[in-house]
């Protein structure tokens, strides 16, 4: 690792241990995003990971910056998820935004003084972005007037700007899609009631409503025709980032089980001396090592033709492994694992959430299945038996 990456990863680990873990239960009880914590993340250099240094960012490649979320995931997976989405938006704004947008927003985003989030999903469409009803009309003065609704918007009411995917016509398909950044104070922008979530109430999520919201053309991030392609790239980055955060979650669960089992006395010895306990935790340890290798390989593939498939593999395998790990480690603690102070119930619920956001594990299976169909088409045919009297192919 480079000295810069080593320093950033240590800063993320320190942030998890010193800021997130001691406070996450209080954040959830308060049901409020900890802006002071994200300010401290910004001061530690964690909110502009992929942005150029000229805008105050760290200038890290995706393959390196994504490792930060493993460290943040030691503290809380939902917090790591929110920071990852901010970094994706900051990356897009600093890399593809207009000069006017960069001048106004870039340094505030890389420093964490302003927070950003992504709005693609709509209430009726879920993981099918082709069924999009949010519309933008381009006015004679170049401004865009936008009306529609988005769902599952993270940092709702907390972010300062929302990178929003829209259609610019009623034509079917994606050739008219674009991405535009909508400031939170734009007239006509409002949010619905916050979603009730079980173990990450500090992360505000809700629907976002746009009623004739007028936005400057300076805020166009991806022009007409590039909105869907750019969004899919953002989702691939998000999927690998989630896998990274899940590795931190798995490590936290494993360490909790080890810390408990090494001292818990039963049957004339300590639990960690029992073969059954060692085998259970050994599977978790193997899954964790495999998950790390997989998400890092997927991060290296981002931006290449193999990127979407590798992101799907990471999103399919790692969150499932994290949920299994959290449940296994809860089992190791027995009844004590159900108690809130040990934190394993929170980790189980977070793992379930991370299996769903930015494309469920089932959607990843669809991506993988289509890739297998393409590969099958390139392979030689093998003889397939026919039924009695069957003809044709």
pLDDT tens string 13-26: 999 999 999 999 99
pTM, entire model: 0.93
Residue 197, pLDDT score: 84
User: Beta strands 116-119 and 135-138: pairing type?
Assistant: unpaired
Residue 328's closest CA among 281, 272, 260? 281
Q: Summarize pLDDT for 353-364 with one digit per residue, the tens.
A: 999 988 889 999
Residue 247, pLDDT score: 98
Q: What percent of the chain has pLDDT over 90?
A: 84
Residue 393 predicted with pLDDT over 70: no
Residue 128 predicted with pLDDT over 80: no
Band of pLDDT at residue 93, cut at 50, 70 and 90: very high
Q: From the CB of residue 357, how many other CB atoms can be counted at a distance below 10 Å? A: 20
Residue 48, pLDDT score: 96
Residue 273, pLDDT score: 84
Residue 94 predicted with pLDDT over 80: yes
Mean of the per-residue pLDDT values for the chain? 94
Three-state secondary structure readout of the chain: CCHHHHHHHHHHHHHHHHHHCCCHHHHHHHCCCCHHHHHHHHHCCCCCCCCCHHHCCCCCCHHHHCCHHHHHHCCCHHHHHHHHHHHHHHHHHHHHCCHHHHHHHHHHHHCCCCCEEEECCCCCCCCCCCCCCCEEEECCCCCEEEEEEEEEEECCCCCCEEEEEEECCCCCCCCCEEEEEEECCCCCEEECCCCCCCCCCCCCEEEEEEEEEEECHHHEEECCCCHHHHHHHHHHHHHHHHHHHHHHHHHHHHHHHHHHHCCCEECCEEHHHCHHHHHHHHHHHHHHHHHHHHHHHHHHHCCCCCHHHHHHHHHHHHHHHHHHHHHHHHHHHHHHHHCHHHCHHHHHHHHHHHHHCCCCHHHHHHHHHHHHHHHHHHCCCCCCCCCCCCCCC
Q: Summarize pLDDT for 251-303 with one digit per residue, the tens.
A: 999 999 999 899 998 777 888 888 899 999 999 999 999 999 999 999 999 99
Please, are residues 48 and 93 in contact by the beta-carbon 8 Å criterion?
A: no
Residue 64's closest CA among 248, 315, 299? 299
Residue 350, pLDDT score: 92
Q: What is the mean pLDDT of residues 130-158?
A: 94
Question: Is the C-alpha dihedral spanning 368, 80, 21, 195 positive or negative?
Answer: negative
Ordered by where they begin, the domains of the chain are: 3-115 (1.10.540.10), 118-224 (2.40.110.10), 228-375 (1.20.140.10)
Q: Summarize pLDDT for 184-199 with one digit per residue, the tens.
A: 999 999 999 999 887 7
Residue 217 predicted with pLDDT over 70: yes
Could you give the dihedral angle defined by the CA atoms of residues 220, 179, 152 and 353, in that order, rounded to the nearest 10 degrees?
-110
Rounded CA separation 147/213 (Å): 6
Q: What is the mean pLDDT of residues 54-69?
A: 96
Residue 1, pLDDT score: 67
Q: From the CB of residue 197, how many other CB atoms can be counted at a distance below 10 Å? A: 17
Residue 225, pLDDT score: 93
């Amino acid at each position: 690792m480079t000295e810069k990456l080593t320093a950033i990863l240590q800063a993320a680990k320190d942030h998890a241990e010193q800021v997130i873990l001691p406070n996450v239960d209080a954040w959830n009880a308060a049901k409020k995003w900890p802006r002071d914590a994200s300010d401290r993340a910004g001061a530690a250099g964690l909110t502009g990971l992929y942005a150029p240094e000229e805008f105050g960012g760290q200038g890290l490649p995706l393959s390196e910056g994504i490792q930060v979320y493993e460290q943040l995931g030691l503290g809380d997976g939902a917090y790591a998820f929110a920071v990852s989405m901010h970094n994706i938006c900051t990356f897009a704004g600093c890399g593809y935004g207009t000069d006017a947008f960069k001048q106004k927003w870039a340094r505030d985003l890389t420093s964490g003084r302003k927070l950003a989030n992504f709005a693609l999903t709509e209430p009726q469409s879920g993981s099918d972005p082709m069924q999009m009803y949010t519309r933008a009309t381009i006015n004679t003065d170049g401004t865009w007037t936008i009306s529609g609704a988005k769902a599952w918007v993270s940092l709702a009411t907390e972010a300062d700007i929302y990178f929003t995917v829209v259609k610019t016509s009623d034509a079917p398909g994606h050739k008219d899609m674009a991405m535009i950044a909508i400031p939170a104070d734009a007239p006509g922008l409002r949010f619905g009631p916050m979603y009730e979530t079980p173990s990450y109430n500090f992360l505000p999520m809700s629907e976002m409503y746009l009623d004739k919201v007028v936005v400057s053309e300076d805020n166009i991030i991806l022009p007409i025709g590039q909105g869907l392609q750019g969004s899919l790239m953002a989702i691939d980055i998000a999927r690998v980032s989630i896998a990274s955060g899940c590795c931190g979650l798995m490590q936290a669960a494993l360490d909790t089980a080890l810390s408990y089992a090494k001292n818990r006395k039963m049957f004339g010895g300590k639990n960690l001396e029992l073969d059954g306990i060692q085998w259970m935790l050994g599977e978790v340890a193997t899954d964790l090592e495999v998950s790390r290798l997989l998400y890092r390989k997927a991060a290296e593939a981002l931006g290449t033709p193999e990127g979407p498939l590798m992101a799907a593999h990471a999103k399919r395998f790692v969150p499932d492994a994290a949920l299994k790990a959290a449940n296994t480690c809860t089992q190791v603690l027995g009844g004590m694992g159900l108690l809130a102070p040990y934190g394993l119930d929170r980790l189980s619920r977070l793992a379930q959430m991370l299996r769903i956001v930015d494309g469920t594990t089932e959607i990843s299976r669809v991506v993988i299945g289509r890739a297998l169909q393409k590969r099958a088409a390139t392979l030689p045919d093998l003889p397939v038996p026919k039924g009695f009297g069957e003809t044709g192919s």
